Chain A
Amino acid sequence: MEVPTIWLMAITYASELTLLCIGFTLTYLTAKIPNFAHGTYAGFGIYVSYTFAKFFHISPYMGFPLAFLIGGLISLAVFKLVFGTLAKMGSGAIVLTIATLAIQIFLGAILNIYAYSFVAFFGQYATGFLLKEWDFVVAGSIAGIFFVAIGISIAVVLVLHYLLTRTKLGIAMRATAEDPELASVLGININNIQLFSWFVTGGLACLAGAMIPMWFMSSPTTGSGIITSIMAGSLLGGFENVYGAIVGGFTIGISEIMFTLAGQLTLGTWFGEYRPLVPMTFLIIVLLIEPRGLQGFYERYKASRTKPKAAEAAPAAPTEKEEKK
């Protein structure tokens, strides 16, 4: 059986987007703000891959651990220098969100300068590239990145599930997300937990970014351009639920590519220009119908199933007591 390449491409993109959405949602859980700089972390991953392939002439897969580390360190630095300080000053959510936008501009400029330094010093064109020739091929025609991307995202989901439900660290993370003050009273070091979760989010974003140029045309602005898809995915998942982010990110990733293809086939090739509008449309439709996304739908469904039972149980409870008396 032969799988059409477009589906492989869509699944690869969706896996990368899922990693980004998980990170975005984790940040939203710990800091209660949408981190607009999240896409730009992915841009750093893109350039780690570029540096490994085009500058050191090693397979970009070797750079993935380094990408995770670099992303984590950038994220830590951002938290230590900006968010920690602003949050200690008691700034509101709006000021913190503007700070993330400022960081996005700042990091984007640094990325552009890094890309331009290849042009200035080594005469290499680094502002638009594809690393497909560095990839390995499985079973004749399937690109290796398909298996790597889907494998990494499944592994991350499993590890994260284990971490959040079975380990003390993960339970402490969830407690911190629920109520930081109460968690600190119970003896959890909130600062360390926050540092850890920011490190993980930055690392995951950078790792996802490192996989992007293996199949998709990349430039310094790819990272900041992908942020709309990330936000649409997280919003579809409900913004406050990691499992929702997995479903939402995967849905948005697949539909972004497949809807664009369907539009191109039925309406004409001009539809390809409107690809960024697909996640935007999703975002606005979700906000209009159910601002809490899939989580809101799930909770409504659960409530509609449990309500009649509760109504039956409520009158039943006193009668038992009366019988005991």
Chain B
Amino acid sequence: MYANIALSMLGSMPTAIEGTSRLIVDIAMFFGLLVIVAMALNFQYGNAGIPNMGCAVQVIIGAFTISAIVMRIMFTVAAQTGVPLDNWNNDFKWIYSNPANVGLMNEFLKSQAVLSMGFLLLSIGLAMILGAGIGYLLALPAIRLRATYLMIVLITVADASQIIGRNVTQISGGTLGVWIPDVFAWYPGDRGVITAVITLFIGLVSFFIFRTMLNSPYGRLMRALRENEVTIGSVGKNVVGIRRNILMFASGITAIAGVMNCYYLLYSNENGYQRAYWTYWPWLMLILGGPGNNAGTFLGAALIIALRRIIIVYKFTIQQFFFFPISYLEDIILGGLLVVVMIFRPNGLIPEKLLYIPGINYAKMVQEEVKVDWRAAPKARQKAAEDKAKKEAKK
């Protein structure tokens, strides 16, 4: 049994091809995954001012969609066409007959290109629907309150989803995890390349969707909401509803990252969806690149992914210089870089640009804006308060 698991593990590892080209494919794949998350985050935080600290929840929903729903559908379809699958209906069988079942499924999917793509589209669609649903549920307790309450709720729910995934084996195989059938088994070349290409394509499509939405009147509404929600409320817009819609839409897009991550690793386990990885690293990308700016998000994602992947790949070389495990060094880089960027580059590497409005030279209109020196602002405010106090004293 264990030899079987180990063999299937070796056979499906993405490191089957050695060398620098493998590193490039790997970087491209994770760039595609995290750029989807970071772009959705930019849509929420950079443009609408919603601090979504629960990206990990939405990604984990994408992964759980595959392991809990789509995989059962796959097994049912395959069993009806006559593949001799083992029973998968109880807790024990779900985990222990899983490697053998997935092996049979991969053999079956090798000749079924159309069906495989159908499964891929089905899982993406389902993940988007469920992601939007979880976005709605997350928005319920805290969207009408101060932004910090939303952050608290989302962070705690990220932990809660991991605890549930760890203990309910039917969802994602508990602590052991489950193997996922390979929907790219029909592809004759390297399956890492096609997964990366499809992920990057999804990233590109979502980039255009986000860009179109931003340059539409809805985008201007979002930016206005970020700047001053009271004004938006007073001109008759439903502030809570707009926020909830944005959160739901971005949640749906974020869930796709979980789906593609599952199909790349061919393995699903709650332990791979820790909030440190799926929430804080995208936030670092966003803040490093510059919030409110898709180009900045791309740049930040590329820099951070390259850094992280190089640390992971050359782990054993770097390890010689440190007495502690390298993962703690990664944490130090993550925390330190976030603080340093926020202090020394508050606008990120690429500052935010004005939105494109057809027919209006918006840039010319705002050229005469008053420049506020934020470093001097507290002193100015203090001075104003002192003046006010003096006036009151005179009265």
Residues of A within 8 A of B (CB): 33-34, 36, 82, 85-91, 93-95, 97-99, 101-110, 112-113, 116-117, 120-121, 181-182, 184-185, 228, 231, 235, 270, 273-274, 276-277, 280, 283-284, 287-288, 291
Contact = CB atoms under 8 A, between A and B. Distances in A.
B365 interface: no
Given A97-B51, A99-B338, A181-B385, 13 more contacts: A86-B342, A94-B45, A98-B287, A101-B53, A101-B280, A105-B335, A105-B338, A109-B332, A110-B332, A112-B328, A116-B324, A185-B389, A280-B157
A277 B153 CA distance: 12
Contact of B332 (A93, A106, A181, A228): A106
B226 to A, nearest CB: 10
A270 B164 CA distance: 12
Interface in B276-317: 276, 280, 283, 287
A33 B163 CA distance: 27
B331 A109 contact: yes
B323 A116 contact: yes
A120 B276 contact: no
Given A106-B339, A116-B324, A288-B141, A93 B374 contact: no
Interface in B132-187: 140-142, 145-149, 151-153, 155-157, 159-160, 163, 166-167
Q: Closest 9 interchain pairs by CB?
A: A106-B335, A109-B331, A102-B338, A105-B335, A90-B374, A287-B141, A120-B323, A181-B385, A116-B324
Nearest to A33: B148
B163 A274 contact: yes
Contacts of A103: 335, 339
B323 A287 contact: no
21 contacts: A33-B148, A34-B148, A36-B155, A87-B378, A88-B378, A89-B374, A94-B51, A94-B151, A98-B283, A102-B339, A102-B342, A105-B334, A105-B338, A106-B339, A113-B324, A116-B325, A120-B324, A121-B323, A181-B381, A185-B389, A284-B153
A228 B155 CA distance: 9
Tell me which of A102, A116, A184, A274 has the highest count of chain B C-beta atoms within 10 A of its own C-beta.
A102
Nearest to A184: B382
Contacts of A33: 148
B342 A274 contact: no
B82 to A, nearest CB: 38
Contacts of A235: 152
A232 B140 CA distance: 17
Contacts of B152: 34, 231, 235, 283
Interface residues of B, number: 51
A288 B142 CA distance: 8
A108 B336 CA distance: 12
Contacts of B53: 101
Nearest to B338: A102
Contacts of B107: none
Contacts of B147: 93-94
Contacts of A110: 332
B67 to A, nearest CB: 19
A161 to B, nearest CB: 27
A145 B115 CA distance: 64
Contacts of B346: 89, 91, 95
Nearest to A179: B385
Q: In the complex, which of the residues B51, B149, B156, B386 has the most CB atoms of chain A within 10 Å of its own CB atom? A: B156
B10 interface: no
A101 B166 CA distance: 24
A105 B280 contact: yes
B283 A287 contact: no
B370 interface: no
B156 A280 contact: yes
B380 to A, nearest CB: 10
A283 B141 CA distance: 10
Contacts of A34: 148, 151-152
B395 interface: no
B377 interface: yes
Contacts of B167: 270, 273-274
B394 interface: no
A270 B152 CA distance: 27
Contacts of B276: 105
Given A106-B331, A287-B141, A86 B166 contact: no
